[in-house]
Amino acid sequence: MANTAASRKTVMSERLRTQILTQALRPGEDLDEARLSEEFGLSRTPLREALRELAGEGYVELQRNRSARVSEMSHTTLRDFFHAAPMIYGAILRLAATHASNEQIDTLKAAQEVFRAALKTGDVAGKALANNHFHAITGDMAGNIYLRPSFNRLLIDHARISMTFYEVDASDETARAAEQHDAMIAAIEARDANAAGQLADAHWALSSHRIAQFVMPTPLSDRLGDSAPSVRIL
């Protein structure tokens, strides 16, 4: 890629997306715009243009008279995530089965191979990003201008949460998730929208309790046992 301001802006944006998805940049963390400007050789104008684009995608939040910051994952956004995820995943897969091109199906199969390969490694970020890429392709397949922005925003938080539960040894569940990916591909290739929607429900059911563990982790008292102090909630 040529070393132009546009190419440097693209490289920075991709780097920030990856760092946000993998929680190398934590939710709510302020971005050091001066450091980014120096690191990528960008003046204020292209830097702010890139940050506005990332804000429109849901990766960052712009603040008046302050640096941009990584999008939060508050109790409100997580509640909305749980409400919206099963509906949006289902709609995306049903539409994918209806509209996917043969080329897109081939791309999805290739992404599944990458996901399966990532599961054999200890690379937590690789697993989360490969899973995210697989589902992002189904969003491309759906081809719906109203659903796609919502699905993209959903995938950001799903990837960030995945960084937590991929750290835990759950080989049986991840193997089952990979099997469900294969079944999704088959349903899409068969143009079976109902089967694709049912698989979306099953896939969400498989991962939702893991996501709930991220939102509501094991109480400290359970980990400390009898040595934990007694706490009374008034």
Task: Report d(CA 35, CA 53) in Å as an integer.
Answer: 19
Task: Report d(CA 75, CA 234) in Å as an integer.
Answer: 21
Backbone φ and ψ for 106, nearest 5 degrees, come out as -65, -40
Beta-carbon contacts of 156 under 8 Å, excluding residues fewer than 6 positions away, are 20, 21, 57, 58, 59, 71
> What's this model's pTM, rounded to 2 decimal places?
0.86
Map out the domains of the chain with their CATH numbers: 5-70 (1.10.10.10), 75-215 (1.20.120.530)
Query: Where residue 140 falls among pLDDT bands split at 50, 70, 90?
Result: very high
Task: Report d(CA 178, CA 90) in Å as an integer.
Answer: 17
Output the six-digit token pair for 124: 């937590």
Nearest alpha carbon to residue 188 among 111, 85, 116: 111
> How do the residues of the chain divide into helix, strand and coil, expressed in percent and rounded to 5?
75, 0, 25
Using the predicted structure, report yes or no on whether residue 233 has a pLDDT greater than 70: no
Q: Where are the beta strands (DSSP E) in the chain?
A: 60-61, 69-70
Using the predicted structure, report yes or no on whether residue 51 has a pLDDT greater than 70: yes
Which one-letter DSSP state was computed for residue 30?
B
Interval 6-20: pLDDT, tens: 899 999 999 999 999
Interval 70-120: pLDDT, tens: 999 988 888 899 899 999 999 999 999 999 999 999 999 999 999 999 999
What is the DSSP secondary-structure string of 83-104?
HHHHHHHHHHHHHHHHH--HHH
Output the six-digit token pair for 161: 């949460």
- From residue 167, give the alpha-carbon distance in Å to each of 136, 162, 209: 22, 8, 15
